[in-house]
Amino acid sequence: MIERIEIDGELRGIIIPSGASSSGIDFLTGGDAPFQIALMGHGKGHVIQPHEHLPAERRVVGTSEALLIRRGRLRVDFYDAGRKIACSRELSAGDVAILFGGAHGFEVLDDLDMMEIKQGPYLGELDKEKF
């Protein structure tokens, strides 16, 4: 079951377990979210019409990221505004975590192979504050 993580009244994450599926297109985020996430499921022979995304200037504040666990296990800690752990979730192979703003941390529970996708460009030390 897909889980929405809300902390301090804000969406901080979406956990998509490996077995999650959809029939058609199911957007998990609203149209105004800085990161658009959808599950798609189509039958054999379905055609997605060729298309090209038009140049569009967007203003995004903050950084959203997607973590795809390929192998191993990872614990994701979500923090509240006071930088205290509000909740934690464990991810394993095939699971995806989408993180929207707010503080978070990780602990590798088993040897891990994961993919991270987020907005760029990366700003180095100006990109995050560690605590």
Residue 100 has pLDDT above 90, yes or no: yes
Residue range 91-111: average pLDDT? Answer: 97
How far apart, in whole angstroms, are the C-alpha atoms of residue 8 and residue 85? 12
Phi, psi of 127 (to 5 degrees): -85, -25
| pTM as predicted | 0.90
Place of tokens 């590798």: 108
Tens-digit pLDDT profile for residues 103-124: 999 999 999 999 999 988 888 8
Q: Name residue 85's beta-bridge partners.
A: 79
Domain residues of the chain, as ranges? Answer: 3-43+63-119
Tens-digit pLDDT profile for residues 34-90: 889 999 999 999 999 999 999 999 888 889 999 999 999 999 999 999 999 999 999
Are 15 and 92 a contacting pair, CB within 8 Å? Answer: no
